[in-house]
């Protein structure tokens, strides 16, 4: 990463960290989406940096908040996430390109539909879902992470539909995504892909992430619970579109080229 790209990258890290501390998610999705769109850095190296700085975000965001966490829900979701990440990677290797694009299109459509319906009716459920429901959301989150690098949507939808306070939702999502990032970091380290550049970029980003996280804890935006839930579901809709359109264009290109 060149010097002229470093400042926009760090600014992006700060904005994404603030958003994640307020909502419980978004750091990885915002940074990965923006850096790939603006060509600030290679996607693989950015993903490694995001995983590392996510740990810094949680280290600053969670102290003093652990009593808000629904540990049963976290445990159930984690049991679903860990094995399904591996399954997602293996499934992606097994599927043909066309089948993978079609699956990505269908998943994006489901996420878009769920986000739209929830944004129109942002009220939470009257009763907490069972542990099995959190496990299933973890399974689908892990599959999405393993196949397409996007683990958030099923977990965001699951937790934002619960009759929890926003503080509880934020803390539990930050913790769950910390588990995902830790798993990815360990796997990347095992493969020997944590290069000196990645460590340097992470070291520069950590202070920015920490300051943005502190700012979000002390100065959160004055949004109501309903508005915050609606914002979360609108972001889900954007993620669904982000998954759908590249896959749709790829399928159209393959169909046109095959004639």
pLDDT tens digit at each of 259 positions of the chain: 666 778 888 888 998 899 888 888 878 777 877 776 666 777 667 878 888 888 888 999 998 888 999 999 999 999 998 888 878 777 777 776 667 777 778 777 877 877 777 777 777 888 999 999 999 999 988 887 777 666 677 888 889 889 988 889 989 998 988 888 888 788 778 878 788 888 998 999 999 999 999 999 999 888 887 888 888 888 778 877 877 887 788 878 877 865 5
Give the count of domains, the chain: 1
Which of these, 26, 84, 83, lies nearest to 53 by C-alpha position? 26
d(CA 163, CA 168): 10
d(CA 140, CA 161): 16
Backbone phi and psi for residue 220, each to the nearest 5 degrees, phi listed first:
-70, 155
d(CA 237, CA 13): 22
Range list of H helices, 149-219: 152-160, 166-190, 196-218
* Domain span at 43: 3-257
pTM for this structure? 0.80
Which of these, 61, 54, 8, 1, lies nearest to 27 by C-alpha position? 54
């Amino acid at each position: 990463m060149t010097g002229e790209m470093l400042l926009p990258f760090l600014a992006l890290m700060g904005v994404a960290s603030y958003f994640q501390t307020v909502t419980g998610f978004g750091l990885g999705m915002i940074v990965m989406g923006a850096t790939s769109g603006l060509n600030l850095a290679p996607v693989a190296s950015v993903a490694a940096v995001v995983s590392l700085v996510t740990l810094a975000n949680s280290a600053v965001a969670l102290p003093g908040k652990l009593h808000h966490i629904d540990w049963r829900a976290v445990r159930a979701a984690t049991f679903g996430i860990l094995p399904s990440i591996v399954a997602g990677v293996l499934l992606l290797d097994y599927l043909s390109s066309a089948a993978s694009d079609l699956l990505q299109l269908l998943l994006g459509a489901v996420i878009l539909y769920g986000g739209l319906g929830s944004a129109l009716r942002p009220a939470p459920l009257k009763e907490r879902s069972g542990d099995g429901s959190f496990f299933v959301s973890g399974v689908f989150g892990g599959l999405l992470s393993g196949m397409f690098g996007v683990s958030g949507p099923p977990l965001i939808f699951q937790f934002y539909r619960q009759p929890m306070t926003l503080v509880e939702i934020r803390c539990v999502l930050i913790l769950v995504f910390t588990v995902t990032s830790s798993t990815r970091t360990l796997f990347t380290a095992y493969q020997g892909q944590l290069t000196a550049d990645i460590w340097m970029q992470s070291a520069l980003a950590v202070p920015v992430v920490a300051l943005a996280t502190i700012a979000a804890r002390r100065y959160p935006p004055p949004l109501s619970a309903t508005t915050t839930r609606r914002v979360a579901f609108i972001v889900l809709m954007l993620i669904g579109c982000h998954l759908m359109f590249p896959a749709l264009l790829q399928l159209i290109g393959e169909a046109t080229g095959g004639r």
